[in-house]
Amino acid sequence: MSGDRKVTIVEVGPRDGLQNEKNIVSTEDKLKLIRLLADAGLSRIEVTAFVSPRWVPQMADHDAVMRRTPAREGLIRSVLVPNDKGAIAAIAAGADELAVFTSASETFASRNINCTIAESLERFVPVISLARSHGIPVRGYVSCAVDCPYEGEIAPDAVAIVSSQLMDLGCHEISVAETIGRGLPERVSLMLERVLDRVPAPMVACHFHDTSGRARANVDVALDWGIATFDSSAGGLGGCPYAPGAAGNIGTGVIISHLMQRGYATGIDSNILQLAEEFALSLRNGCNSGN
């Protein structure tokens, strides 16, 4: 039984959830969504990405979003950065945590971040050095931790190797991402078994997509392996332009409800979360509210 075990949710909706929406979401609406999510009790929110507006137009207002997201006691405002340039800007804007991203698939790395896995890790060295000098933690993402849209099944050992390399570089947490939602629970279990041979469970998070309706079953597998941190997105928004057919991330309300049914504590106010999710979905539909 889960007892009083606490599970932490990392809310990725304002970044991963919105980044591929075709209708540009206003800065004010992004800030309102972040505020609602924080009001609901989410203590870790990925608020934006310091990436090139040429490649991700939806994140072009990253500096304004970061600077205008108010600091709150107990709230970690995280931002995704691709390199040291992004890290410098994110730190200057007041980020509480940086996140870097690579893949367990060479083809996906090439298509998504235009480099090899090894090259991506090299890019992270100055990012982590900068963050360390400012006392800021760095989180690492490993995409395609179970399947790749181009290569198919990914070997669990490949995920374990990249995860341990991120840990060795200095990442305080590794989020293994089931990017395209095909992962069978049995294969998720095999992947986690290998990863946990190299990385302690408290340093591992899971990021599931619900393309095939298996996200909750995969959450259960991760819980059984002792994972206590999960990524989710308000309203289930998200997906990846380089992962054809990848539906949204598991919805924050969905995972909170599932965890509560299993007896886990999350510290989230479900009523305020529902307001946040309804607002997130209205952004997808292009219904901007202003503030």
Sequence-distant (≥ 6) Cβ neighbours of residue 266 within 8 angstroms: 6, 7, 8, 9, 41, 256, 259, 260
Architecture per CATH, domain 8-284, reads as Alpha-Beta Barrel (3.20)
Q: Give, in order, the Cα–Cα distances in Å from 227 to each of 41, 203, 211, 255, 286.
A: 20, 9, 21, 14, 36
**Positions marked active-site:** 240
List, for residues 154-166, the tens digit of each pLDDT value: 999 999 999 999 9
List, for residues 87-124, the tens digit of each pLDDT value: 999 999 999 999 999 999 999 999 988 899 999 999 99
- Beta pairing class for 152-153 and 147-148: antiparallel
8 Å CB contact between 193 and 222? no
For residues 271-283, one letter each, b for 16 or more C-beta atoms within 10 angstroms of the residue's C-beta and e for the rest, the string is ebbbebbebbeeb
Q: What does the pLDDT read at residue 289?
A: 40
> Tokens 């709230």, residue?
75
- Beta pairing class for 152-153 and 97-103: unpaired
Q: What does the pLDDT read at residue 245?
A: 54
Return the domain boundaries, the chain. Answer: 8-284
Q: Give, in order, the Cα–Cα distances in Å from 182 to each of 99, 185, 209.
A: 24, 10, 8
Q: What does the pLDDT read at residue 1?
A: 41
Look at residue 62 and give its three-state secondary structure. Answer: helix
Q: Where are the alpha helices (DSSP H) in 40-116?
A: 62-68, 84-93, 106-113
Residues in the chain where the model's pLDDT stays below 70: 1-4, 239-247, 285-291
Look at residue 63 and give its three-state secondary structure. Answer: helix
Distance CA 72, CA 98 (A): 17
Q: What does the pLDDT read at residue 39?
A: 98
- Calculate the CA 170 to chain-centre distance: 18
Sign of CA dihedral 11, 189, 247, 119: positive
8 Å CB contact between 220 and 261? no
Of the chain, the end-to-end C-alpha distance in Å amounts to: 43
Diameter of the chain by CA atoms?
A: 48
Q: What does the pLDDT read at residue 285?
A: 64
In the chain, the percentage of residues whose pLDDT exceeds 90 is 84
Distance CA 21, CA 19 (A): 6
Q: What does the pLDDT read at residue 244?
A: 56
Q: What does the pLDDT read at residue 180?
A: 85
The tokens for 178 are 């089931």
